[in-house]
């Protein structure tokens, strides 16, 4: 029996070597591809559009996650540790990221919001600090895409031209998407163009599309739905006859629903901003997020 095993062993070893070789040679094999980890799903989708089939892309936070005060897990560290590059938003969005990044060894990172002209937060403990949700501006999203392509090209120069070409094609898609979004919101009578939300996450979108903005709290890392916050927005909605109030997909809608209930305004529905949905959900991509959020706002504000 021992002699049989000794005769078989070299064949098993050879077979294992062949299988490993074939696996490594397969197109798109993960070990051969540049790997990019991102802090949340919106950036991950942008990166996938720039990467095409050339790079592997993972998001540290899952679809539907609240990203401001996310608590990373050991599994997240494992997911990011073998990345060739980590891309994050910056602008004080990922309050957890610096501690998380300190646990990684020699993984380069880049901030995708570099070059954006930030809108300052107007109230609360974060007064004067930048509103981090700049991707909600389609024009600022183009800056994100350029930064993504530049970072990937710098760290994976063999595929730099592919990344740049994909980035230009994706930027054209974003630009083409803007006109129908603008037309949808322009169809709302001017006096009704108020965007009232739970979190102040839509300042960039409101600026780009000519909406007046109000919110219950400035950022999800802040206190949420205090009596003072709710009362202030109730008074504003009543004073301006604002037709609808909205909330975001990653938080409870209770405070927004209370404002709607006490003012007689419509609860306009769920907006997507901090996170995409799973592939079978209503907002699996950044462009889907923009379209769905804009159409929900336009529908909610209509007479």
SS3 188: coil
Query: Is residue 273 in a domain?
Result: yes
Q: Smallest Cα–Cα separation from 43: which of 145, 195, 122, 138?
A: 145
pLDDT for 16 equals 37
> Which residue's structure tokens are 């007064």?
127
68 and 190 belong to one structural domain: no
| Nearest-angstrom CA–CA distance, 270 and 199 | 12
Q: Are residues 147 and 239 in the same domain?
A: no
| Burial letters 220-245, b for 16+ CB under 10 A, else e | bbbebbeeebbebbbebbeeeebbbb
Distance CA 144, CA 113 (A): 6
Residues 213 and 292 in one domain: yes
Are 164 and 56 within one domain? yes
Q: Do residues 147 and 37 share a domain?
A: yes
Please tell me the distance from the alpha carbon of residue 189 to that of residue 303, in angstroms, as a whole number.
Answer: 8
pTM, two decimals, is: 0.87
Question: What does the alpha-carbon distance between residue 206 and residue 236 come to, in Å, rounded to a whole number?
Answer: 17
**Domain contains 7:** no
Q: How far is CA 80 from CA 85, 95, 199, in A?
A: 9, 17, 29
Q: How far is CA 291 from CA 55, 133, 138, 248, 273, in A?
A: 27, 16, 11, 15, 11
- One domain, residues 209 and 289: yes
Asked if residue 1 is part of any domain, the answer here is no
CA distances for 2 relative to 5, 8, 13, angstroms: 5, 10, 17
CATH number for 185: 3.40.50.1980
For residue 299, the model assigns a pLDDT of 98
Per the structure, the count of domains in the chain is 2
Do 145 and 227 sit in the same domain of this protein? no
* Residue-level pLDDT at 102: 85
Q: How far apart are CA 230 and CA 39, in angstroms?
A: 31
Domain end marker among 161, 177, 193: 177
Residues 144 and 240 in one domain: no
205-260 tens-digit pLDDT: 999 999 999 999 988 866 678 999 999 999 999 999 999 999 999 999 999 999 99
Q: Which of 177, 199, 227 is the last residue of a domain?
A: 177
| pLDDT in the model for residue 238 | 98
Query: 260 and 216: one domain?
Result: yes
Is the Cα dihedral 277, 244, 200, 294 positive or negative?
positive
Residues 106 and 124 grouped into a single domain: yes
Asked if 235 contacts 247 with a C-beta cutoff of 8 angstroms, the reply is no
What 3-state class would DSSP assign to 27? coil
Is 63 within a domain? yes
What pLDDT does residue 221 have?
63
User: Range of 83's domain?
Assistant: 30-177
Same-domain pairing of 148 and 199: no
Within the chain, which residues score under 70 in pLDDT?
A: 1-31, 221-223
Answer with the one of 177, 206, 239 that is the final residue of a domain. Answer: 177
Phi, psi (5° rounding) for residue 217? -140, 155
Whether 14 maps to a domain, the answer reads no
- Sheet of 85-88: strands edge to edge? 55-59, 34-38, 85-88, 109-111
């Amino acid at each position: 029996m021992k002699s049989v095993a000794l005769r078989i062993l070299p064949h098993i070893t050879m077979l294992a070597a062949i299988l490993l070789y074939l696996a490594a040679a397969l197109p798109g094999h993960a070990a051969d591809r540049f790997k990019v980890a991102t802090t949340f799903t919106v950036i991950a989708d942008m990166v996938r559009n720039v990467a095409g089939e050339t790079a592997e892309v993972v998001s540290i936070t899952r679809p539907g996650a609240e990203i401001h005060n996310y608590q990373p897990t050991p599994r997240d560290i494992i997911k990011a540790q073998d990345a060739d590059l980590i891309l994050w938003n910056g602008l004080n969005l990922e309050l957890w990221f610096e501690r998380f990044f300190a646990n990684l060894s020699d993984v380069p990172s880049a901030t995708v919001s570099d070059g954006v002209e930030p809108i300052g937060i107007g109230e609360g403990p974060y007064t004067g600090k930048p509103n981090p949700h700049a991707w909600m501006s389609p024009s600022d999203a183009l800056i994100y895409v350029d930064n993504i392509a530049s970072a990937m090209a710098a760290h994976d120069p063999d595929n730099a031209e592919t990344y740049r070409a994909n980035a230009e094609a994706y930027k054209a898609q974003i630009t083409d998407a803007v006109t129908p979004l603008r037309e949808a919101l322009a169809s709302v009578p001017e006096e009704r163009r108020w965007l009232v939300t739970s979190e102040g996450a839509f300042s960039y979108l409101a600026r780009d599309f000519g909406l007046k903005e109000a919110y219950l709290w400035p950022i999800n890392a802040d206190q949420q739905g205090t009596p003072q916050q709710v009362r202030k927005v109730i008074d504003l909605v009543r004073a301006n006859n604002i037709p609808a109030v909205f909330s975001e997909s990653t938080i409870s809608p209770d405070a927004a629903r209370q404002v709607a209930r006490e003012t007689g305004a419509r609860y306009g529905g769920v907006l997507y901003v901090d996170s995409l949905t799973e592939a079978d959900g209503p907002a699996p991509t950044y462009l889907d997020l923009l379209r769905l959020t804009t159409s929900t706002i336009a529908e909610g504000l209509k007479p």
